[in-house]
């Protein structure tokens, strides 16, 4: 398809829309204590090269501290004058720096927060209520692609965009099935599952991990063979920050055709959007694996080209093949959608990553995938649900009414179809248990630029009310949730990161199911019995209190 088609394409609204999902932030202020000299000496002592470690240590007294702290801080809610700040940020250059950080934090009674891409929705990679340091993996971002064996080693500090770019540099017929937003970090994303447009064909990012390197709570360095299959199982979906610091991942790359198709069609209520959404529920999870058809609903105060959108449903489709084939399939399976060729572009897989992630701005180029710079500064709250049985028309109408709430900025609801490969993988294969029993996932997001507690409360109240409204229509006992859409409302450890097994089960079952949660607790008890790696939703040990 031609460039002119791209320029006038209906994809532009989609790009702009998804940018909101990819927006980031920067603002912090400081008031701290000085980290003990002994601690800094300890770091030099355990580091292989005492001279180089001082170049990657940032205390509040270093002028670049704020910039380093802010650089991958992605939720303004956790960047206020009252937000606790780290005593130290270390940006390791090699494994010994990580080992030193673990050993010295342990001996000095400090907590560690590990940060890769900084997109944790609840800020758990850069905020803690006890004295803490940040191990920021931003410098550990090397990627090596092996086209022959269709595998790659990627360090945790790389972003998804960097990974996609490096794959495309070597081959246009290989890809990796991970998330849509290119600034998301590999470290947190693979730790919690990780989905994108390829999930119906190839499953989650975590499903495609075949080896990993990790530093544990004793500062020991392991690969898959040395860590054993229990721990290797736990780190592929059991969530970051519980078992150690994953330095790098070996992943399988997947095959994609040279030409893929991306289509977007927007529908308003007048176009019969409510009925189409209802029908979609019977169709999307049964489509062939090569085809992904999702929905993005938007409303609130969102305006586009000066006119208010109230609310709008964007049906976006990704197909591993040519547009004509896609249209033929949807023409028989979902003719009511009335998708036509003008709604579609044929392009390469990596271009779709660029379009979905960074927008099809004039002059946008593949190198934009390498950018870590946020385009927007926002506060965000996200929640998730999983659906087994289609929700009734009345519920879709209820969602529509809530999306109309005039003074809520950029509320968005995304429907992600399951089925395909997701149903072929056992619930016990990885800690991520949401597989064949669900036909789709719902993600609820609201992002706002207005600062202050009133704005925050208004947006939190909105999303919480919507979540409680949805309760009768979605999965129950447990009400399943997606770990990477981290939500502390569904339960958390206490502020010391401690909890009982029973308490943690409340949210643990939602993320992992009971059987997987129990296994995670078992692994945790074995590999980190003193619960060194802990946070508000870390996996507890059997004896944690």
Ligand X SMILES: *[C@@H]1O[C@H](CO)[C@@H](O)[C@H](O)[C@H]1NC(C)=O
Strand ranges, E, within 276-342: 291-298, 303-304, 307-308, 312-319
Helix (H) or strand (E) holding 272: none
Contact 418, 201 (CB under 8 A): no
Q: Cβ 166 to ligand X, closest distance in Å?
A: 27
Residues 179-218 that bind ligand X (CB under 6 A): none
Rounded Cα distance between 467 and 260, Å, is: 35
Selection from 242, 234, 205, 217 nearest residue 104 by Cα: 217
Residues 227-286 that bind ligand FAD (CB under 6 A): 240-241, 245-246
Binder of ligand FAD out of 11, 21, 76, 369 (CB under 6 A): 21
278 binds, among ligand X, ligand FAD, none (CB under 5 to 8 A by kind): none
Rounded Cα distance between 433 and 509, Å, is: 10
Binder of ligand X out of 304, 372, 404, 498 (CB under 6 A): 304
Binder of ligand X out of 76, 163, 309, 521 (CB under 6 A): 309
Selection from 320, 314, 257, 323 nearest residue 1 by Cα: 323
328 binds, among ligand FAD, ligand X, none (CB under 5 to 8 A by kind): ligand X
Selection from 506, 478, 479 nearest residue 493 by Cα: 506
- Name the catalytic one among 485, 501, 509, 511: 485
CB closer to ligand FAD out of 278 and 381: 381
By CB under 6 A, is residue 86 in contact with ligand FAD?
no
Q: Give the 3-state secondary structure percentages of the chain, helix then strand then coil, rounded to 5.
A: 40, 20, 40
Q: C-alpha distances in angstroms, 240 versus 67, 91, 185, 244, 484?
A: 24, 18, 11, 8, 9
Q: What angle do CA 378, 410, 270 make, to 5 degrees?
A: 165
Rounded Cα distance between 520 and 528, Å, is: 11
Residues 260-279 that bind ligand X (CB under 6 A): 266
Rounded Cα distance between 435 and 412, Å, is: 24
Residues 26-45 that bind ligand X (CB under 6 A): 26-30
Stretch that binds ligand FAD, among 119-127, 340-348, 402-410, 450-458 (CB under 6 A): 119-127
121 binds, among ligand FAD, ligand X, none (CB under 5 to 8 A by kind): ligand FAD
Q: Is 195 designated active site? A: no
Binder of ligand X out of 327, 329, 356, 490 (CB under 6 A): 327
58 binds, among ligand FAD, ligand X, none (CB under 5 to 8 A by kind): ligand X
By CB under 6 A, is residue 22 in contact with ligand FAD?
yes
By CB under 6 A, is residue 196 in contact with ligand FAD?
yes
Instruction: List residues binding ligand X (CB under 6 A).
Output: 10, 13, 26-30, 54-55, 57-58, 62, 66, 69-70, 266, 301, 304, 309, 312, 327-328, 331, 407, 409, 450
């Amino acid at each position: 398809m031609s460039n002119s088609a791209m320029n006038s394409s209906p994809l532009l609204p989609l790009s702009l829309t998804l940018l909101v999902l990819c927006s980031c932030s920067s603002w912090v202020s400081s008031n701290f204590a000085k980290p003990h000299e002994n601690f800094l000496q300890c770091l030099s002592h355990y580091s292989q090269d005492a001279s180089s470690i001082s170049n990657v240590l940032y205390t509040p007294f270093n002028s670049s501290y704020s910039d380093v702290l802010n650089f991958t801080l992605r939720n303004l809610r956790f960047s206020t004058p009252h937000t606790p700040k780290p005593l130290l940020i270390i940006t390791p250059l090699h494994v010994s720096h990580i080992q030193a950080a673990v050993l010295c934090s342990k001996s000095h009674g400090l907590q560690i927060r590990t940060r890769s891409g900084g997109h944790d929705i609840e800020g758990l990679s850069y905020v803690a209520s006890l004295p803490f340091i940040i191990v920021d993996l931003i410098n550990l971002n090397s990627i090596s692609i092996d086209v022959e064996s269709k595998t790659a080693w990627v360090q945790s500090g790389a972003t998804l965009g960097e990974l996609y770019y490096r794959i495309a540099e070597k081959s246009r017929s290989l890809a990796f099935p991970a998330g849509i937003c290119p600034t998301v970090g590999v470290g947190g994303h693979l730790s919690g599952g990780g989905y994108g447009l390829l999930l119906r064909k190839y499953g989650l990012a975590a499903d495609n991990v075949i080896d990993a390197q990790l530093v544990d709570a004793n500062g020991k360095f392991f690969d898959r063979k040395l860590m054993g299959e229990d721990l290797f199982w736990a780190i592929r979906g059991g969530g970051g920050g519980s078992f150690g610091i994953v330095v790098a991942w070996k992943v399988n790359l997947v095959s994609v055709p040279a030409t893929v198709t991306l289509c977007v069609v927007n529908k308003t209520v007048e176009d019969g959007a409510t009925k189409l959404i209802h029908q979609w529920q019977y169709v999307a999870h049964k489509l062939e694996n090569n085809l992904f058809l999702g929905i993005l609903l938007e409303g609130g105060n969102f305006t586009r080209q000066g006119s208010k959108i109230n609310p709008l449903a964007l049906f976006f489709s990704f197909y591993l093949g040519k547009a004509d084939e896609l249209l033929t399939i949807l023409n028989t399976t979902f003719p009511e959608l009335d998708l036509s060729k003008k709604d579609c572009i044929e392009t390469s897989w990596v271009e779709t990553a660029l379009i979905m992630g960074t927008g099809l701005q004039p002059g946008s180029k593949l190198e934009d995938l390498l950018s870590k710079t946020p385009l927007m500064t926002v506060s965000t709250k996200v929640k998730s649900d999983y659906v087994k049985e289609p929700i009734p028309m009345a519920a879709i109408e209820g969602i529509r009414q809530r999306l109309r709430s005039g003074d809520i900025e950029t509320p968005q609801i995304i429907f992600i179809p399951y089925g395909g490969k997701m149903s072929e993988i056992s619930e016990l294969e990885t800690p991520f248990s949401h597989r064949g029993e669900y036909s789709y996932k719902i993600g609820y997001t609201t992002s706002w630029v207005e600062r202050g507690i009133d704005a925050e409360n208004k947006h939190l109240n909105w999303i919480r009310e919507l979540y409680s409204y949805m309760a009768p229509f979605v999965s129950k006992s447990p009400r399943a949730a997606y770990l990477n859409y981290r939500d502390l409302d569904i339960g958390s450890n206490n502020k010391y990161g401690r909890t009982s097994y029973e308490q943690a089960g409340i949210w643990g079952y939602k993320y992992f199911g009971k059987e997987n949660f129990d296994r995670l607790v078992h692994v945790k008890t074995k590999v980190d019995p003193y619960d060194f790696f802990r946070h508000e939703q870390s996996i507890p040990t059997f004896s944690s209190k």
